[in-house]
């Protein structure tokens, strides 16, 4: 399609959705169009960080996510009030619920318009979110984090041991719910938990490694992020009884979105401010997690690579400890260098390639409200990265 007129367009639902998105403050500025819908292909995507995905604006989905929220809270209630409190901590802190949203929306892709989800689809959404939350409990222990979602982290409030056990409890509840949905869903969720661990271990193995390869980075994010988003779509599709080719296509979309999601998240750590992120920027550099823009800048060689290498050495612990190095000047210099590096744009292009891979998988099922929403969510993701001109 070319131009803006779509009075006879078969993709009218897509344009209605994007029209609503464009009215959200901070997403689309004057004269800016959504990439892939009127933007030149080579244009840079330099927008302020946008908080609202078009997927999460669908009224039917919002109603289903209320049901998911209620079921999440109920799923961790135990006879022990203390365990209930600890297990509920991050649930009550809120969150975008991206993974449940993907599960619910994937289940609805066979219908022209989205309707209320079945009880089993809601349970599937709860199971994938519990896996995500359980992994956050463990992540915060590994990172020695003090806050999560603007509240005190579980490990900071109750200690590492209780945080680890509570995270294990959430994973166990996720597995219990998955088992109630059938052996295929149970096996899928178990395998996904394994992939999450594999991805995280791969990342830890390369902490502060200036030789981390692009292949190692992609393998890590495939496990720690993309696997669960792919599973979220697959669980929804399986529970909804969709045909096998459609289940596989939705899985591909979810995994591809997850790869792009993590690349974009890593770019935001370089390109955004503390205020935009709602947390300290440059966290990955401080923790020694060298992501795609860092890897590509170092691999390119030349003065930029040498300067970045020197700055990263200053930020790395030298005494074998895991305590972050307090060197704000070197951190800001490294972020400034990376923002001016061609690696930011090339990394964003890699994220776009993953998005397009997912969209191609969905192409045979285009035209429904749910499919349109998934496609629009992927385009919105790419628009959340800003770059230094």
pLDDT reported for residue 49? 36
Angular region, 149: left φ>0, alpha ψ -120 to 50, beta rest: left
Q: What is the distance between the alpha carbons of residues 305 and 343, in angstroms, rounded to a whole number?
A: 11
pLDDT reported for residue 272? 86
The two tokens of residue 165 are 């056990």
Are 272 and 338 in contact by the 8 Å Cβ rule? The answer is no
pLDDT reported for residue 48? 35
The two tokens of residue 122 are 């809601």
Quick one: CA torsion of 100, 105, 106, 111, rounded to 10 degrees? Answer: 150
pLDDT reported for residue 246? 98
CB neighbours of 318 closer than 8 A, spacing ≥ 6?
none
Q: What is the distance between the alpha carbons of residues 98 and 379, in angstroms, rounded to a whole number?
A: 15
Angle at 278 between CA 275 and CA 283, to 5 degrees: 100
Whose tokens are 């935001």? That residue is 268
CATH for the stretch 46-289+330-382: 1.10.600.10
By C-alpha distance, which of 132, 264, 292 is closest to 196?
Answer: 132
Q: What is the pLDDT along the chain (389 residues), one digit of tens a residue?
A: 333 333 333 333 333 333 333 322 222 232 233 333 232 222 232 333 335 678 888 889 999 999 999 999 999 999 999 999 999 999 999 888 999 999 999 999 999 999 999 999 999 999 999 999 999 999 888 877 777 877 888 889 889 999 999 999 999 999 999 999 999 999 999 999 999 999 999 999 999 999 999 999 999 999 999 999 999 999 999 999 999 999 999 999 999 999 999 999 999 999 887 777 767 789 899 999 999 999 999 999 999 999 999 999 999 988 766 677 889 999 999 999 999 999 999 999 999 999 999 999 999 999 999 999 999 999 899 887 754 33
Find the helix packing angle between 119-143 and 160-180, rounded to 10°: 160
Are 266 and 293 in contact by the 8 Å Cβ rule? The answer is yes
Burial of 83 (0-12, 13-18, 19+ CB in 10 A): middle
By C-alpha distance, which of 77, 85, 67, 196 is closest to 124?
Answer: 67
Q: What is the distance between the alpha carbons of residues 378 and 43, in angstroms, rounded to a whole number?
A: 17
By C-alpha distance, which of 34, 13, 35 is closest to 23?
Answer: 34
């Amino acid at each position: 399609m070319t131009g803006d007129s779509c009075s006879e367009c078969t993709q009218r639902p897509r344009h209605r959705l994007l029209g609503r998105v464009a009215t959200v403050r901070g997403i689309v500025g004057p004269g800016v169009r959504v990439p892939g819908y009127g933007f030149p292909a080579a244009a840079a995507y330099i927008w302020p960080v946008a908080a609202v995905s078009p997927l999460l604006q669908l009224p039917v989905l919002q109603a289903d996510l209320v049901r998911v929220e209620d079921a999440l809270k109920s799923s961790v209630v135990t006879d022990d009030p203390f365990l209930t409190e600890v297990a509920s901590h991050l649930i009550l802190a809120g969150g975008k619920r991206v993974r449940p949203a993907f599960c619910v929306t994937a289940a609805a892709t066979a219908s022209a318009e989205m309707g209320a989800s079945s009880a089993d689809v809601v349970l599937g959404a709860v199971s994938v979110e519990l896996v995500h939350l359980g992994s956050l409990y463990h992540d915060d222990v590994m990172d020695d984090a003090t806050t999560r979602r603007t509240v005190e982290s579980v490990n900071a409030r109750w200690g590492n041991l209780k945080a680890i056990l509570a995270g294990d409890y959430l994973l166990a509840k996720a597995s219990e719910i998955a088992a109630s949905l059938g052996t295929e869903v149970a096996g899928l969720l178990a395998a996904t938990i394994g992939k999450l661990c594999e991805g995280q271990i791969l990342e830890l193995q390369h902490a502060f490694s200036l030789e981390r390869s692009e292949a190692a980075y992609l393998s890590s994010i495939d496990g720690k992020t993309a696997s669960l988003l792919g599973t979220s779509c697959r669980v929804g599709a399986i529970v909804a009884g969709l045909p096998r080719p459609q289940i596989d296509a939705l899985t591909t979309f979810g995994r591809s979105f997850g790869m792009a999601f993590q690349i974009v998240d890593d770019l935001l750590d370089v390109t955004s401010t503390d205020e935009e992120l709602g947390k300290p920027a440059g966290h990955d550099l401080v923790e020694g997690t060298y992501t795609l823009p860092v890897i590509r800048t170092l691999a390119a060689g030349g003065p930029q690579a040498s300067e970045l290498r020197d700055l990263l050495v200053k930020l790395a612990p030298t005494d074998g400890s895991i305590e972050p190095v307090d060197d704000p000047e070197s951190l800001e210099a490294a972020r400034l260098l990376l923002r001016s590096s061609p690696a930011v744009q090339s990394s964003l292009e890699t994220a776009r390639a993953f998005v397009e891979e997912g969209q191609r998988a969905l192409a045979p099922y285009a035209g429904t409200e749910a499919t349109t929403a998934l496609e629009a969510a992927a385009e919105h993701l790419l628009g959340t990265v800003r770059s230094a001109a």
